[in-house]
Structure 1
Amino acid sequence: MPSETSWRGFRSAQDWINLICGALLFISPWVMGFSGVTAPAWAAWVGGIVIAVMAIAALVQFAEWEEWVALVVGVLMIVAPWVLGFAAMTYALWAFVALGLIVALASVSEIWMIHNPAPAAR
């Protein structure tokens, strides 16, 4: 059975996933060619920074609220193409939906692990 240490190691893996997704979201306007379109570019830059900062904060000194913020931002990234009106830009749409979904799932799984700790090894 996994110990608390191994569960924390897995949780930090989720923080690394969020950090990578935040970085990918931040650079996506340049890589995917929509840096000249205001709404998706700024949403990617701001969302990427918030996700990355929350991941770094969780890696340095874990607190549950950081996961909740990352979850909310992940969900906001999923809906951003429709709310901000750039859903017709397929490449931006998929970048936001895919990365937002990964961030949201990683955050949910970490929150679940916090509230459902692994049983202690005997």
Structure 2
Amino acid sequence: MKQLKHWQDTGNAVLGLWLVFSPLVLGFQTELVDMGNTALVGLLLLAAALGGMFVPRAWEDWTETALGLWLAVAPWVTGFATTIATVNAVIVGLIVLTLALWALQDYGLAPPESAAH
């Protein structure tokens, strides 16, 4: 299968870095659930995006899609305590989801198993 590099991975890497530092910048670092979820998703997103930048495969775009979706719904699933953390998670999650789905268009939105066929 042809390797595809996407500019969207760079965008998601930047968003991953933002998520890691946003609890400090936005002031919700004392809320463990809000901060922990945001920082963990940020680290995972950064790892997936860097994977996509250096060894592009469909799996990393699917991972970014799942992370974006999780981030957008996490405030209600985990019970975020702060409005700013909720707004941050939903907005960034929807942007990540959009960028990842945009990149997946090059693969025809096929699941990773069938992308190689």
TM-score (norm 2): 0.86
Secondary structure of the structure 2 residue equivalent to 1:104:
helix
Amino acid at match of 1:56: L
What is the Cα deviation at residue 113 of structure 1? 2.0
Q: Distance in 1 between matches of 2:86 and 2:32?
A: 14
| 1:26 alignment partner, one of 14, 17, 20 | 20
Bigger Rg over Cα: 1
Q: Does 1:115 align with 2:108?
A: yes
Q: Aligned partners of 1:74, 1:41: CA distance in 2, in Å?
A: 16
What RMSD, in angstroms, separates the aligned Cα atoms of the two structures?
Answer: 1.6
Q: Deviations over 1:80-102 (max 9, x none)?
A: 1111111x522111110111111
How many Å apart are 1:114 and its aligned residue?
Answer: 2.1
Q: How does 1:43-62 map to 2 (within 5 A)?
A: 43-62=37-56
Residue number in structure 2 paired with 1:79: 73
Name the % identity.
29
- Structure 1 unaligned segments of length 5 or more: list them: 1-7, 117-122
* Cα distance, 1:112 vs structure 2: 1.1
Instruction: Compute the TM-score of the two structures, normalised by the length of structure 1.
Output: 0.82
Once the two structures are superposed, residues 16-47 of structure 1 have per-residue CA deviations (whole angstroms, 9 ceiling, x without a partner) of: 11001111111111001111111010001110
Equivalent of residue 8 in structure 2, options 11, 14, 17: 14
